[in-house]
Amino acid sequence: IMICFFLTGTRLAPKEKLDIPVLFMPDTMKMCEAVVVIHVMRENGENWPDEDSAELNKDVKSVTLGENGGLQEILWIYPVHGIPEAVQQKLFPAVICCQARQRVERRVEVPLTGVVPGARRNSASVDTSSPANIQDKIQDTDGLSTTVEFTYELQYQSNEIKSQLESLVDMHLVEREHDTESGIITLIFNTVFAPSKPMRNEATLIVQCTTGGVWKFPVLFIAMEPEVDDVINIEAVGLNKESLVDFKLTSQTR
């Protein structure tokens, strides 16, 4: 959508600022494009001297020269992109949980509302069963245009959390489903979590459609205490006597 706004009858003093309100009220999850055009002329109809026209051309998109020289009018053109973002209600995060030094694989389903008008639900869920046949590519379903594509990424609350989780989490889009009755598109992600130590950190799954819509879903990663590796038994040899026991520690990183 390309729209041009023209303000007429606005008087500006030298070096005065011009505030232009732009209202964006999307009804679908599609990016809208507009252009704000500022057309300036002198109130008395005279031309500006063209002594600095070469320098002025670097900042403006268009100038009109008068018949007798000088600048008759100036145009400033500013593109405006409106990117809709799904309303962030209080969403419960999708929880991926396992013991430290273990590996868990889950499917996370995220419903996208607004891609098709009329969709309502917007909350992530986790399929706790182990995935069976992981598909290598996204399926196209009936009623959904094959030109609609999505990009996604995990964003973390800080660089420290990112350094902890980035190498422990793997998330891939494996399938998408389209409910023709509700209009909701559901993306299914295969998520692998393999923590090396106990932790509890949250990330945000950000999904963006090629048409411009943005959705955000919280994901909580929990690593519980690992199982006990072994039990060390120390037998007493008598009162007030020292007992010793030898045991070996094996590093898992070497």
Q: How confident is the model at residue 105 (pLDDT cuts 50, 70, 90)?
A: very high
- Over the stretch 197-250, which tens digit does the pLDDT of each residue have? 999 999 999 998 887 888 999 999 999 999 887 888 888 888 888 888 888 877
Q: What is the pLDDT of residue 118?
A: 44
CA 84 to chain centre: 12
Q: What is the pLDDT of residue 147?
A: 59
Q: How confident is the model at residue 18 (pLDDT cuts 50, 70, 90)?
A: confident
Q: What is the pLDDT of residue 246?
A: 85
Which domains are delineated in the chain? Answer: 4-82 (no CATH), 94-224 (2.60.40.2310)
- Over the stretch 117-151, which tens digit does the pLDDT of each residue have? 544 444 455 555 444 333 333 333 444 444 578 89
Q: What is the pLDDT of residue 145?
A: 45
For residue 81, which of 155, 120, 30, 131 has the smallest C-alpha distance? 30
Q: Looking at the predicted structure, is the pLDDT value of residue 103 above 90?
A: yes
Q: Which residues contact 132 (CB under 8 A, 6 or more apart)?
A: none
